[in-house]
Amino acid sequence: MSNNNNRFSRRKFLQTSALTAAAAASGTLVAPSIVRAQGSAVKVGLLQPVSGALSYSGQQGRLGASIAVDEINAAGGLKGLGGAKIVPVLGDAQSTPDGGNAEVEKMNSAGVSAIVGGYASAICLATTQTAARYDLPYIVDVGVTDAIVTRGLKNTFRFGPGFGVLAKTALANLVAINDKAGKPAKTVMIVHEDSAFGSGLAKLLNAQLPGKGFEILETIPHPTPTRDFNNVVLKIKAAKPDIVIPANYYNEYVLLARTMQQQKVRPKAAIYSVLGGAASSYKFVKEFPEAAQYIMDCNHWFDPRNPKALALKRKVEAQGQFFTYEVYMNYSAVLLLADAINRAKSADRAKITEALASSTFAGHVMPYGPTKFVNGQNEGAAPANTQVIGNDIQVILPEAFASAKPVYPLPPV
């Protein structure tokens, strides 16, 4: 074609400039735009999935972390650095691993000294890995998959319990409760959501329950979201297990519990949830008091006798929010970080990592044993057993933190 050369050069020019413009634009946008903190401030990344499918948990997590930051700053900042303030760098993981990943990169470019958060296991796996490239200390707030702390990443710390501990404790507590009541329960049915946490938990329970004298009648996985639980409840009705063990997220748990109530299906001994989405949720208890009655949960929980925890609860509820586990776990994680920075007397990443690894932090609000990090996992972390009694959630185990005795087996209707 006679005008081939013209077309080639113009097109190339336009395309190249479009690409360059795009790259340049992206460069200015992705590069740190946050005002550089003055020498007397420490930047901390708070990463949560505040939009997308996990947005509720993400927003609760951000709330807990933000309250902790505000409290520390109001009380005079980081004492170990002469009162330096914490400057939070907020990030939205958009409920995906690549979203979380991009935020870690941005936070690193912004010069954060550490990152707290992630929430979901899938997101945490990606974000901790990326943070490891920069030796950026990362405190996982919730994410329970054991793989998070078994990859040998020196920068990764998890203050809360992982799967293994959760399943073991849940089982031990179930056996204890059952034994104490004279072993009224023998058969079990597990209803779990089919992604990382539900499947992982179900696998562990399936491996360990028979050894403790329980017979598993059926294990029912279900997707998140599940629109209807009538068939699941039919199966429960037909199998008549002594105990039903649900492990799923809030929405599905609510649907399951409501459907059971509607179909008048009630296990003989208990609904014993492990990491139940709504089983230890004030929101659930408030909105469905009848369906929630006597449900047990082995889950993340706060120390009910700790005045700091109760003060936090009042603060959160005064804001019109529910006191959910994401709130106090993130609150504790930020306090843990602040303590480490204070002990390290530095905002240097390597020093903070060292301080975390040797931390024995006790100023948190969780019902844990003494803090001790081994390979990034806090060995003192443990779940608590709760039960909904009289429209409130009581802790029934461990006895050291208990506020009530378990009601087991379920009283006759």
Partner 1 sequence: MHLSILFPAIINGLLTGAIYALIALGLTLVYGVLHIINFAHGALLTAALFAAFFLHKLFGIDPYVAVFILVPAFFAFGYALQRFVIGPASHGDDGNILLVTLGLSVIIENALLYAFRADTRTIDLGYGFSVVSVAGMFLSAPRLAGFAGAVVVALLLWLLLTFTDTGKSIRAVAKEKLGAQLSGIDVAHVYAVTFGLGTACVAIAACLLIPTYYVNPHVGNAFVLIAFTTVVLGGMGSIPGALIGGLFVGVVESLSGLYLGESLGQIGIFLMFILVLLFRPSGLLGELA
Partner 2 sequence: MSRAGFLPIVAAVIVLACAPFVTDSNAVLNFLVTALLLTLAGQGWNVLGGYGGQYSFGHAAFFGTGAYVTAILQVRYGLNAWPAFGIGIAAGAAVGAAIGVLTFRSGLRGSYFALVTLAFAEVLRIIASVAPITGAGVGTLIKLDLGARALQFQSRAAFYWFILALVAISLAITKLIEQSRFGAWLVAVRENEDAARALGVDVTRVKLGAMTISAAMTAAAGCFYAQYFLFLDAAIAYGPWISVEALLAPIIGGVGTVFGPLLGALMIKTLGEAAKHVTGDVPGLDLVLYGVVLILVIGFAPRGVAGLIARCRAWLMPPVRLAPETAHD
- The angle subtended at Cα 235 by Cα 229 and Cα 240, nearest 5°, is 125
Please count the residues of this chain forming the interface with partner 2, following the rule CB under 8 A: 63
Identify residues 272-301 at the interface with partner 1 (CB under 8 A).
283, 287-288
Distance CA 123, CA 145 (A): 11
Q: Does 53 bind partner 1 (CB under 8 A)?
A: yes
Of 98 and 228, which has the nearer Cβ to partner 1? 228
Query: How far is CA 70 from each of CA 31, 101, 252, rounded to the nearest angstrom?
Result: 26, 26, 34
Distance of CA 318 to the CA centre of its chain: 23
Q: Does 29 bind partner 2 (CB under 8 A)?
A: yes
Q: How many CA atoms lie within 13 A of 100 on its CB side?
A: 30
**Which span sits near partner 2 by CB under 8 A: 120-128, 206-214, 266-274, 290-298?**
120-128
Q: How far is the CB of 197 from partner 2 (least distance, A)?
A: 8
Beta bridge partners of 392: 389
Strands 114-117, 296-299: pairing kind: unpaired
Neighbouring CB atoms inside 10 A of 240's CB total 12
250-262 helix and 230-239 helix, angle to the nearest 10 degrees: 60
* x-marked contacts with partner 1 along 365-394 as a string, rule CB under 8 A: ------------------------------
Q: Which amino acid is at 234?
A: L
Q: How far is the CB of 171 from partner 1 (least distance, A)?
A: 23
The helix/strand/coil state of 378 is strand
Look at residue 257 and give the partner it binds from partner 1, partner 2, none, a contact being a CB closer than 5 to 8 Å depending on partner kind.
Answer: none
CB 176 within 8 A of CB 158: no
Q: Does 228 bind partner 1 (CB under 8 A)?
A: yes
Q: How far is the CB of 21 from partner 2 (least distance, A)?
A: 9
Of 106, 222, 313, 349, the residue at the interface with partner 1 (CB under 8 A) is 222
CB 384 within 8 A of CB 299: yes
Q: Does 30 bind partner 2 (CB under 8 A)?
A: yes
Q: Does 258 bind partner 1 (CB under 8 A)?
A: yes
The helix/strand/coil state of 85 is strand
Distance CA 333, CA 351 (A): 17
Residues near partner 1, by CB under 8 A? 51-53, 55-56, 58-59, 194, 220-223, 225-228, 230-232, 234-235, 238, 250-251, 254-255, 258, 261-264, 283, 287-288
Binding stretches for partner 2 (CB under 8 A): 1-4, 6-8, 10-12, 14-16, 18-20, 22-23, 25-27, 29-33, 50-51, 55, 58-59, 90, 92, 96-98, 101-102, 105-106, 108-109, 122, 125-126, 129, 133-134, 145, 147, 151-153, 193-196, 198-200, 203, 221, 223
